[in-house]
Structure 1
């Protein structure tokens, strides 16, 4: 067990009547934190004591608990001397009520278990308007308790009750003020530029989540110390808020900005639908100095805002514009509505019309594999690179097949199509 010391001071002050309700810190488990150099007002009016072996009030370091109130503080990372100062004492004046306020500092190896308490310092008795408990050599990062009790002095049958102010300070509890700043991007940004903001926190432990605000509106909450976004607009101001320390939290705030965003815009125009073989007008707008359409292979003039495109398949075109150090792109989708059509029948009667099974658009897939089976599952046709010159004419090994329904499997062998097409085609002469 650690070597512990007690500093107990018994103080007495007479004063006027003062009324209050039962204190919230009536027991050790409800002890109120004493924050570094922050004065709080308290009292022991209507406080009670827990009577049982090893309970929180079961100790006799200079006094036995009658109506105890509890406070707690944690030393800093270096430890040292802590002074707990009491002032503005105001006692309840009542017949048979004591007029002595008692206080002591404890450490517990088991929180709120009286069998583990050790007192710090010597027992002292005194009287005065103000008094202090001073404990030297306190351990670093350790929780201590301050117990305040009303005495049954001078033959009193009722323990003393008083209001008071209390504050804890000293080298063992005072903190180096925590600080926070933001490392952000250059204040000159491009539209939609992806940027990262980093929180730099010093002298801070037990950090809460980081809350990132843009112009006062919460934009993100992060558990880590960085935030990535591409939504910064011209004039935006970024504010970061978080809190340090579980006990006696310290709120931190930092700002970055305002940001200037280059006034560059680009619009590739609305999406369009066309039929296979049809051309389309691409009409873009931008205030950029240079601009370029891509992919350029099916565009008449890639460096013109208004130009003609002849896509063979559904295509996404990008208009990219540049100004100063910024580049911005927008896209337009041109959809081919009938680019691939599988007919359900054909009539190979040598009249020059519909004599072969013509699959519209399949020539756009040069590696397409087409396999056809008769009603008994026998393969009657198979080819890779199905086209007008390799289309099925309703023959098998040079002989005409009988009229009827045949089963086909068409595998385009294209990344845009995960599954082959399957179905039936009817031969009608």
Structure 2
């Protein structure tokens, strides 16, 4: 696994944040929840949310509810193939009219599973109802694998004064925990000879897509093979049915023979000031040693990036002109495992 990313489309964030100014939120209805992607904080609002869930849907005002809907917004999240525990947190609750007693200043929320979306008789409440003017936190154990859940956020009414309007608030919300982790993994870095099939080993919970999508046997499967003649970075993106996307990267190193230069002229003219090894970037685990004629090791490095190339010095002091000797252990089981030879240092 080279590098991991979690992505959330920004239009969801902006759509939620600005919904309070003259239009209903995009997730005003239970049939259009906004996804809570793993470990991504998004802004939400129930400004101008309606009291109806959706056209021709039954709301949950009845015996199986813990609060009546007022101005409700809906979110959903998916569990991975393992299931387990998850945390849902609502924070930074900022309510309209907190100081003028026109609106109440608390949100209420609950997490549920809906076997049939927007049918209240299928709802299973998997958390207690909570309300707060600051933070609402759900720590939920034993979530089923590969299951969609809903977070319902509503404006609370003042229990002691019915003339005060239900709370209309902005807030931030996120879902995280091992049950929601998409487990996206592009696999370990791959080392291959040129122009042979090299398998990739991706995994995750979602629909896969590889980029770049050329020189690959299938860009929409987890375990394709690639056919390359140069080092290439591949990115695996998985997209879930609710719209969350996650990515991870893997590097494919094509191990062609090294071309080792045998002369170094470190005089500051920009030519041969450091010892060059062509194609060394294909061997990130290589070990480089340089010795004097008496066997003293003067230089050692792993990977030999350009920023650490040997410049004819030892402990910061210039070495005299002469012949020095190198050993390159490539760490490869594909081609040559060891290169050795001499370097002419000319001043």
TM range (shorter): 0.5 to 0.7
Residue 138 of structure 1 deviates from its aligned partner by: 2.3
Paired with 2:50 and 2:238, the residues of 1 have a C-alpha distance of 34
The 3 A distance-change label for structure 1 pair 260 and 110 is same
1:244 equivalent in structure 2? 238
Paired with 1:173 and 1:131, the residues of 2 have a C-alpha distance of 19
Paired with 2:80 and 2:148, the residues of 1 have a C-alpha distance of 10
The 3 A distance-change label for structure 1 pair 212 and 238 is same
RMSD over equivalenced CA pairs, Å: 3.2
Matched, 1:195 2:196: yes
The 3 A distance-change label for structure 1 pair 249 and 78 is same
Classify the secondary structure of the residue corresponding to 2:180. coil
Q: Do the aligned residues in 2 keep the contact of 1:184 with 1:196 (CA within 8 Å)?
A: no
Count of aligned residue pairs for this structure pair = 231
Segments of structure 1 that go 5 or more residues without pairing to the other structure are 1-17, 264-324, 326-429
Paired with 2:102 and 2:30, the residues of 1 have a C-alpha distance of 27
Relative contact order (alpha carbons < 8 A, sep ≥ 6): 1 or 2 greater? Answer: 2
Alpha-carbon displacement from aligned partner over 1:304-341 (angstroms, at most 9, x marks no partner): xxxxxxxxxxxxxxxxxxxxx9xxxxxxxxxxxxxxxx
Larger radius of gyration: 1
Q: Do the aligned residues in 2 keep the contact of 1:54 with 1:115 (CA within 8 Å)?
A: no
Q: Do the aligned residues in 1 keep the contact of 2:190 with 2:250 (CA within 8 Å)?
A: no
Segments of structure 2 that go 5 or more residues without pairing to the other structure are 1-18, 260-334, 336-347
Q: Do the aligned residues in 2 keep the contact of 1:75 with 1:141 (CA within 8 Å)?
A: yes
Paired with 2:141 and 2:215, the residues of 1 have a C-alpha distance of 47
Q: Do the aligned residues in 1 keep the contact of 2:237 with 2:245 (CA within 8 Å)?
A: yes
Paired with 2:34 and 2:219, the residues of 1 have a C-alpha distance of 30
Paired with 2:167 and 2:101, the residues of 1 have a C-alpha distance of 11
The 3 A distance-change label for structure 1 pair 83 and 226 is closer
* Bigger strand fraction: 1
Residue 143 of structure 1 deviates from its aligned partner by: 1.1
Paired with 1:33 and 1:134, the residues of 2 have a C-alpha distance of 18
Paired with 1:57 and 1:134, the residues of 2 have a C-alpha distance of 26
Residue 50 of structure 1 deviates from its aligned partner by: 2.1
Q: Do the aligned residues in 1 keep the contact of 2:191 with 2:255 (CA within 8 Å)?
A: no
1:55 equivalent in structure 2? 57
Q: Do the aligned residues in 1 keep the contact of 2:58 with 2:120 (CA within 8 Å)?
A: yes
Alpha-carbon displacement from aligned partner over 1:370-420 (angstroms, at most 9, x marks no partner): xxxxxxxxxxxxxxxxxxxxxxxxxxxxxxxxxxxxxxxxxxxxxxxxxxx
Q: Do the aligned residues in 2 keep the contact of 1:182 with 1:200 (CA within 8 Å)?
A: no
The 5-angstrom pairing of residues 232-271 of structure 1 reads 232=229, 236-246=230-240, 247=242, 248-257=244-253, 260=256
Paired with 1:51 and 1:43, the residues of 2 have a C-alpha distance of 16
Q: Do the aligned residues in 1 keep the contact of 2:87 with 2:138 (CA within 8 Å)?
A: yes
Q: Do the aligned residues in 2 keep the contact of 1:101 with 1:162 (CA within 8 Å)?
A: yes
Query: Which residue of 30, 33, 36 maps to 1:31?
Result: 33
Query: Which residue of 155, 163, 186 maps to 1:156?
Result: 163
More displaced 10-residue stretch of structure 1: 58-67 or 41-50: 58-67
Residue 107 of structure 1 deviates from its aligned partner by: 1.0
The 3 A distance-change label for structure 1 pair 223 and 130 is closer
Paired with 2:26 and 2:147, the residues of 1 have a C-alpha distance of 23
Query: Which residue of 55, 63, 70 maps to 1:66?
Result: 70
Matched, 1:206 2:206: yes
Residue 54 of structure 1 deviates from its aligned partner by: 7.3
Paired with 1:147 and 1:170, the residues of 2 have a C-alpha distance of 19
The 5-angstrom pairing of residues 396-415 of structure 1 reads none
Paired with 1:51 and 1:162, the residues of 2 have a C-alpha distance of 18
Paired with 2:180 and 2:140, the residues of 1 have a C-alpha distance of 11
Paired with 2:129 and 2:224, the residues of 1 have a C-alpha distance of 52
2:42 equivalent in structure 1? 40
Residue 149 of structure 1 deviates from its aligned partner by: 0.7
